[in-house]
Structure 1
Amino acid sequence: MAKELPERNKIDDKYKWDLEDIYKTDEEWEKDFNRVKDKLKDIATFQGKLVNSSQNLLDGLNLIMEVEEVATRLYAYAHMRQDEDTRDQSYQSLFNRAQSLHNELASITSFMVPEILTLSREQMNKYLEEKEGLKLYRHLLDNILRQKDHYLSAKEERLIAMAGEVTQGPYNIFSMMNNADLTFPIIKDEKGEEVRVTHGRFIELMENKNRRVRKDAFKALYSKYNEFINTFASTLNTAVKSHIYYARVRKYNSALESALDDDNVPVDVYNNLIKTIKDNLKPMYKYMKLRKEILGVDELHMYDIYTPLVSDLDIKIPYEEAKEMVINGLKPLGDEYLNILKEGFNSGWIDVYENKGKRSGAYSSGCYGVHPYVLLNYTDNLDNVFTLAHEMGHAIHTYYSNKNQPFVYANYKIFVAEVASTLNETLLIKYLLENTQDEKKKKYLINHYLEQFRGTVYRQTMFAEFEKIIHEKVEQGQPLTSGLLKEIYKKLNEEYYGPDVVSDEEIALEWARIPHFYYNFYVYKYATGFSAATALANKILEEGDKAVQRYIQFLKSGDSDYPLNVLKKAGVDMSSPEPIESAISTFKEFVDRFEKLS
């Protein structure tokens, strides 16, 4: 009998998030939905009059923020309800309605920016002096004027906003295919028992000590993607075209420049990341060679990449134990931070275990005015302990931001988002290494850190380069066929993993299962975030309370300043390659340390 996933109603309630903290019933959701619908008409009355006076500007901005706050709550509830069981059509419908409302709101408010852009800097300053309440919106208004060259007329902005529902299509189709429609084959585990490959189990199977199990799981997963590879290529091709469409209508030189400008991040930061990593592939190659030697294999295949190199140490970590490990690891962040962490563990923030139909992976989400939420698909291994620390980093960043910023600045940029999550992982690994004398366990933990670095810095930079290449291909008029995507991906895989790794044919399909390629140049932020987090974690451990206070201030800053500025105030300059080079030095030290223990 195959090990199948449980239905959601079989999971203990204490391991489920409590979405009733957002809406006690679906009926309450409906009331807010109708309230927003009615308020859309009120917003429309400001069109053509928004900047006629400082009072109009203030009233209009206040109303838009009020409605957007409720709309984000509607969206959060609907998407998290759907993610509990993606097969549930009632919540698919609720999510689709929330998404449509979001697009309708974007369409209705599309006059806001073009009308603000008709103001001169002098007129804007005059309005700010006239109305004390407008000072709240100073950074928002400055940011709009900064991007003046890339906004169009109110009529054109409305047309662009109306296209939102269509351009979201590729990701929605991918998500449904990936989470709801794909059923992966059953394989036999190391005991000969049947087990179905799932998204949640895949990495666990890749970590299996039995090479036959790893190989079978690897081939089983990718055989299913291969069945639909042309569909996945088509959805990704269309997603890339939508990114380019928005870049071109807004008069950017490239989709990359357009995506980065929202964070006010220069293209050089992206290109420098790729260049710095590619100039420093030797430590990665050394690690792969070491992996091959320790595993004692003639050929190191892609299904050998994840299995721990300490084969006789099998660490199983139940969820309750994982929580204690995270609390202990994050003690350098102080009592205030730890109290928020414990509140999150005990107050319905987290959806812990995988169930049938549940969205794969892990994330932190939520809405203003309600505590954040975390989705996990927890299995009892060390990797999932780090995932818990990672997602709670996001959640507590959101908690601090929401508590200390008004709604307009609460939603911090993704560029800084990965700092808080990765810093937690960095502190946890350092704590665990310091608190074990067992050489095998120490070796296991170093191996975990090396895997974390490989996955977060080297692999995500490879993803970032893949994104850059495929966007450039489409910008040059070349369609992304499945054959071309496989060719590009396999070549990059060979380049980043080096001569001691066999790039199996199946790995050329990996792009088909990565949701982040639909997120418009998102993944590079994992690598820059990891580098910034490494620097900040070191400062916290070296300087103590002073560095902690700077870091907590960073968490409280939200979107009240540009990301590079917020990080600079915390003590890291991401416009230079120095933090990335420093992170690579740490990786190299860990590789050398691992080699000595082997």
Structure 2
Amino acid sequence: MVKSLPPRSQVKLEDTWDLTSLFSSEEEFYQALAQLEDHANAFQQQFSGKMTDPPSIIEALTAYAELYEKLVPLSTYASLVLSTDQTNDAAQMLSSKFGSIAAKISSKLSFLSSELLTLPEETLQQAMQESADFKVYLEKLIRKKQYQLHPEVEKTLAAYSSTFSAPYGLYNTTKMVDMKFDDFEVGGKSYPLSYVSFEGDWEAEPDAELRRTAFAAFSNKLKDYQHTTAKTYDMQLQAEKTTSDLRGYETIFDYLLFNQEVDRSLYNRQIDLIMKELAPHMRKYAKLLQEAHGLGKMTFADLKISLDPSYEPEITVEESKKYIDDALEIMGPDYLEMVDRSYKERWIDFAQNTGKSTGAFCSSPYGDHPYILISWTGRMNEVFVLAHELGHAGHFYNANREQNVFNARPSLYFIEAPSTMNEMLVANHLLKSSEDPKFKRWVISSIVARTYYHNFVTHLLEAAYQRKVYERIDSGQSVNAGILNGLKRGVLEEFWGDAVEITPGAELTWMRQPHYYMGLYPYTYSAGLTISTQVSKRILNEGQPAVDDWIEVLKAGGTKTPVELAQMAGVDITTEQPLRDTIAYIGELVDELVKLTEEIKVK
């Protein structure tokens, strides 16, 4: 049964992450922040106006890399401390202090790219030849040249960077600090409700009355904050549109996709094909859930339930490690050592407490080990969630060791491939471990309901909705709660058709996702899973050679484009074939669930 969440001060130490490898105390953090500001001043004095030839360019970039490496742990610490308890005043102040100092530093350092781009391109090309370390950095800089503004404008925009990121902070404050949920009542009994408990427990609650009442109570509270949240989101959108116009991008989509290094056709293809061709398979899955649970009607509040709740194993944190070790063993001893360290050295924050960020994420600071946030409820499907985040960890564990600080991070388009890859490896391992129809059905339903539903449905429907929002913004319009609700409802109705009733409250789902403050991020989940589905099939069929290729992809970090990284792994994303194959594979999984359900009934 769901319990009320404790304050952060009452959770067990072993369930929390250990941030001391970043900073041993807040005092040490503040000292390092002051030193970084001094370092930035010295850097500006030493190199502003002095970069004239390849040797001086290389000297400046070497010093800049050193400075940037000192910024990373500060940024990470400020973010992670706040993410575990957004009600903590000290964490709020620390995060704000970092934001304001980081904006000052960013403004001071803006001269670097401005001055480099005033140099002849041949000079920059020569610097690349003399130092391969900075080739990728300079190539990306040259690519941006046509969108670069006057140095004084760049300096001013950089000074406002913390203001431009304010909508995201305001969204989180509204969601995690101000929004308080009352208990809800079913059959004369009272039940606690919170963001974490709804998304971690109530959404998947087998009892229909409890689940639907929790959904209604949760939605009613969201509704109280819809206008503030919509205004916050519109601030974000208008800032992005203004930046896009100032820099001279043709559309806001071109601006937001620029750093992803993919053509807009890849973005549109991902949304259009899935909306059209995956929908029939997922409607069949919804009907299967409805029949399995004997529901008179299938509503939006019922979509996250397990196909067989009686067969939902519970699992402890300690037990999860065995499953993950066995599933990821194929990745080799170095990868497994990282997994082992993540448990032993407390890289993972498992605790459930008030004020903690919802969902799960992995932060992988350069020069340190990764950190994973998850709120562990004991459901077996969280093995998939943890494997997903360890996929991010494994990616940057490899990339950060192989590449310099400028070259480690790949395009956002590719970022979810290594994470979803691990989910596929867990699924493939579990499928091989038993022939019992009930167990097989549980595993396949976990793949459909967790891996594919989450990444190919939840996030993709966000992307389809987000595209409609940006189309409005790009045409010079704004949004409010009513408009956002209408757009979200329209996308849900288009995808689910008459298979699912889009009940009141479903349209407010746009309020639950922080991804909208991160550019065109939601569609990249399905893009990454398209790549990892194909690579996981290669691993099943070819074994070690496919694994070796994948490890090389992880090590490559950001030195190649998403198309090139996928090619290294044997997948051609310039065509729609990998996506069509993945959609067909999901259809096969749903058909297998229908077949296994019939078999189990007969027995």
Match of 1:289 in 2: 287
Match of 1:221 in 2: 218
Distance 1:191 1:588 in 2: 42
CA 1:30–1:197: 2 relative to 1, 3 Å: closer
TM-score normalized by the length of structure 1: 0.96
Report the CA distance shift for 1:573/1:200 in structure 2 as closer, same or farther (over 3 A): farther
Q: Is 1:190–1:213's contact at 8 Å kept on the other side of the alignment?
A: no
Match of 1:473 in 2: 472
C-alpha contact (below 8 Å) 1:203/1:306 kept by paired residues: no
Matched with 2:600 is none
Query: Once the 2 structures are TM-superposed, how far is the Cα of residue 234 of structure 1 from its aligned partner?
Result: 0.5
**Which residue of structure 1 aligns with residue 27 of structure 2?**
27
Aligned-residue CA RMSD in angstroms?
1.9
Q: 1:420 aligns with which of 411, 418, 421?
A: 418
Letter in structure 2 aligned against 1:194? Y
* Structure 1 equivalent of residue 159 of structure 2: 162
Alpha-carbon distance in structure 2 between the residues aligned to 1:250 and 1:448: 45
Instruction: After superposition, give the CA deviation of every residue in 1:223-271 in whole Å (9 maximum; x if it has no partner).
Output: 1110111111101111111121221111111221111111211111101
Query: What is the distance in 2 between the residues matched to 1:392 and 1:303?
Result: 29
Aligned partners of 1:12, 1:415: CA distance in 2, in Å? 37
> In the alignment, what sits opposite 1:113?
113
Other-structure match for 1:352:
350
Question: Which one-letter code corresponds to 1:485 in the other structure?
Answer: L
The DSSP-based 3-state class of the residue aligned with 1:20 is coil
Superposed displacement of residue 552, structure 1: 0.7
2-structure distance, mates of 1:461, 1:86:
28
Q: Tell me how far apart the structure 2 counterparts of residues 302 and 326 of structure 1 sit (CA, whole Å).
A: 32
Aligned pair count reads 595
What stretches of structure 2 of length at least 5 have no aligned partner? Answer: 598-603
The equivalent residue for 1:171 is 168
2: CA distance, partners of 1:541 / 1:188: 48
1:338 to 336, 339, 342: 336
Cα distance in 2 for partners of 1:196, 1:286 equals 31
| Residues 66-88 of structure 1: CA deviation (Å, up to 9, x unaligned) | 12211111111121112222111
CA deviation vs aligned residue, 1:14-35 (integer Å, no higher than 9, x gap) = 2211101111122221221111
Give me the whole-angstrom Cα distance separating, in 1, the residues matched to 2:185 and 2:376: 22
Judged with a 3 Å threshold, the aligned counterparts in structure 2 of structure 1 residues 126 and 403 are, in CA distance, closer, same or farther, namely closer
1:23-77: per-residue Cα shift (whole Å, max 9, x none)?
1122221221111110121222256525312232122212222122111111111
**Worse-matched range after superposition: 518-527 or 181-190:** 181-190
Q: Residues 552 and 190 of structure 1: is their aligned pair in 2 closer, same or farther, counting only changes over 3 Å?
A: farther
Alpha-carbon distance in structure 1 between the residues aligned to 2:521 and 2:465: 12
Q: For residue 574 of structure 1, what is the aligned residue in structure 2?
A: 573
What does residue range 261-340 of structure 1 map to in structure 2 within 5 Å? Answer: 261-280=258-277, 281-340=279-338
Map of 1:63 onto structure 2:
63
Per-residue Cα deviation, 1:100-144 (whole angstroms, up to 9, x for no partner) = 222222212212222222233322233445xx4x33101111111
Report the counterpart of residue 10 of structure 2 in structure 1. 10
- Structure 1 stretches lacking a partner, 5+ long: none
Identify the residue that residue 97 of structure 1 maps to in structure 2: 97
SS at match of 1:312: helix
2:194 paired residue number = 197
* 1:116 partner letter: L
Kindly, what percent of the aligned residue pairs are identical? 27
Amino acid at match of 2:82: Q
Corresponding position: 1:520 with 2:513? no
SS in 1 for 2:346: coil
Contact 1:87 1:357 in 2 (8 A): yes
The alpha-carbon distance between structure 1 residues 342 and 190, as it changes in their structure 2 partners (threshold 3 A), is: farther
- SS in structure 2 of the partner of residue 501 of structure 1: coil
2:201 counterpart SS class: helix
Instruction: Note the alpha carbon deviations across 1:351-390, whole angstroms, 9 max, x for none.
Output: 1121122222211114221111111101111221111101
Query: Secondary structure, in 3 states, of the residue corresponding to 1:70?
Result: helix
CA distance in 2: counterparts of 1:312 and 1:187, whole angstroms:
25
Deviation at 1:282, TM superposition (A): 1.7
Residue 186 of structure 1 is matched in structure 2 by 183
1:44 match: 44
Contact 1:22 1:77 in 2 (8 A): yes
* Aligned partner of residue 574 in structure 1, secondary structure: coil
Aligned to 1:210: 207
> How far did residue 592 of structure 1 move?
0.8
Q: Say whether residues 1:378 and 2:405 are aligned partners.
A: no
Per-residue CA distance 1:503-532 (angstroms, 9 max, x = gap)? 012101110121111111111110100111
In the alignment, does 2:494 pair up with 1:491? no
| Superposition TM-score, scaled by structure 2 size | 0.95
Amino acid paired to 1:532: I
Tell me the distance in 2 between the aligned counterparts of 1:407 and 1:314. 42
In the alignment, structure 1 residue 396 sits paired with structure 2 residue 397: no
Mapped to 2, the partners of 1:93 and 1:197 lie a distance apart of 24
Q: Which residue type is aligned with residue 9 of structure 1?
A: S
Rounded to whole Å, the distance in 1 between the matches of 2:521 and 2:341 is 30
Answer yes or no: is the 8 Å Cα contact 2:58–2:127 preserved in 1. no
One-letter code of the match for 1:301? Answer: T
- CA distance in 2 between counterparts of 1:262 and 1:314 reads 41
1:3–1:195 CA contact under 8 A, matched in 2: yes
Q: Would you say the 8 A contact 1:330–1:338 is kept in 2?
A: yes
Listed one character per residue, the Cα deviations across residues 435-466 of structure 1 (whole Å, up to 9, x for unaligned) are 12322222122212111312211232221111
Q: Distance in 1 between matches of 2:436 and 2:445?
A: 14
Change beyond 3 A, Cα 1:305–1:128: closer
Distance, in Å, in 1 between the alignment partners of 2:393 and 2:506 is 33
Structure 1 residues 371, 150: CA separation in 2 closer, same or farther (over 3 Å shift)?
A: same
Q: In the alignment, what sits opposite 2:532?
A: 533
The change in CA–CA distance for 1:192 and 1:235 in structure 2 (over 3 A counts) is same
